[in-house]
Amino acid sequence: MKAMVLRHSSPVHNRPLNLDEVEVPEPGPGQIRIRVHACGVCHTDLHTVEGELGGLPLPLIPGHQVVGTVDSIGGKMRGVKVGDRVGAAWLHETCGSCPFCKRGDENLCPDARFTGYHVNGGFAEYMTIGHAFAYRLPRGLDDMQAAPLLCGGIIGFRALRLAGVPRGGRLGLYGFGASAHVAIQIARYWGCEVYVFSRGEQHRALAAELGAVWTAQSGDVPPQRLDAGVVFAPAGSIVPQALEHLAAGGTLVLAGIYMSEIPPLDYERHLYHEKVLRSVTAATRADGQELLRLAGKIPVHTTVQTYPLEDANRALCDLKDGHVNGAAVLQVSEAPL
């Protein structure tokens, strides 16, 4: 099969992914093999390829926002058959027995493994995953539209939940890429007023189109205090500014897997009056299931920029340079008729 393989981490402008012919993986017990139709490209892939996350089992096939059809099944299992349309996300497997897993926080499992990071992902024509970690996808969303929901959508949804933004409350979104352009649709569905901070003019235009009541550069001050905020941009310098924008009792959530250094915080200016600062670490399967259910109900519409599989390096460069409005998605193969 064809796959974009990372052999050495490097800045994406060096085109570190190679288009190779590799063996088609075989599903083990309890696993399914997915014939990949589409795979989203997100900032986690960017950080992975450039080596900012470390600990990669190279060579590696990145990609963790996968949409495809079940091509093969590893043994007998209920609830899945060849030809089913499924999705695979960042969470690849967990131990199922640690205190975190038992209390429903499987995203914090110390033995969790992640798609396109610990194991080969969806920048390829085929991939395998445990049946229990694959998602049924809502009808009405085609493959390219569905792919960005499987990381950006899930993380954005979890970030909104952790932010505790009240229905009808005021929400700030810092950075407006794949996650934020899904999160704003959920927040608007909840009746929230959404204030968007982004460097990109085209990103601010998309935010306004999707219902933002106010858009501005990241350093600007909103006209009102915010009940909650979510930082999607991997820039630590935004954190003190976003904390100052919060009303008393507000929560700021950091939604990225990577962030540059956060400047020192002043207790009275940034944290006093019971403000909360917290991070997001991956997501649970329950988050994914609820997001997909909600996406079909609202319905969520994703804005996508498509690339062929062999242009994965270009997609990553466009993402890093801020040239993707919405989400970047690799079109890997055509869905069967």
Q: How far is CA 253 from the centre of its chain?
A: 15
Count CB neighbours of 219 within 10 A. 10
Count CB neighbours of 132 within 10 A. 15
- The residue type of 320 is K
CA distance 184 to 207: 8
- Per CATH, which fold does 2-149+283-292+299-331 belong to? Quinone Oxidoreductase; Chain A, domain 1 (3.90.180)
CA distance 210 to 332: 28
Count CB neighbours of 161 within 10 A. 16
- Per CATH, which fold does 153-279 belong to? Rossmann fold (3.40.50)
Q: Residue ranges per domain, the chain? A: 2-149+283-292+299-331, 153-279
Q: pLDDT value at position 250?
A: 98
CA distance 97 to 38: 33
Which pLDDT tens digits describe the chain residue by residue (337 residues)?
A: 999 999 999 999 999 999 999 999 999 999 999 999 999 999 999 999 999 988 889 999 999 999 999 999 998 888 899 999 999 999 999 999 999 999 999 999 999 999 999 999 999 999 999 999 999 998 888 999 999 999 999 999 999 999 999 989 999 999 999 999 999 999 999 999 999 999 999 999 999 999 999 999 988 999 999 999 999 999 999 999 999 999 999 999 999 999 999 999 999 999 999 999 999 999 999 999 999 999 999 999 999 999 999 999 999 999 999 999 999 999 998 765 4
Judge contact between 164 and 312, C-beta under 8 A: no
Q: pLDDT value at position 335?
A: 62
CA distance 89 to 86: 10
One DSSP character per residue, 268-309 reads IIIITTT-EEEE--S--HHHHHHHHHHHHHTT----EEEEEG
Q: pLDDT value at position 337?
A: 46
Assessment of whether the complete model's pTM goes beyond 0.85: yes
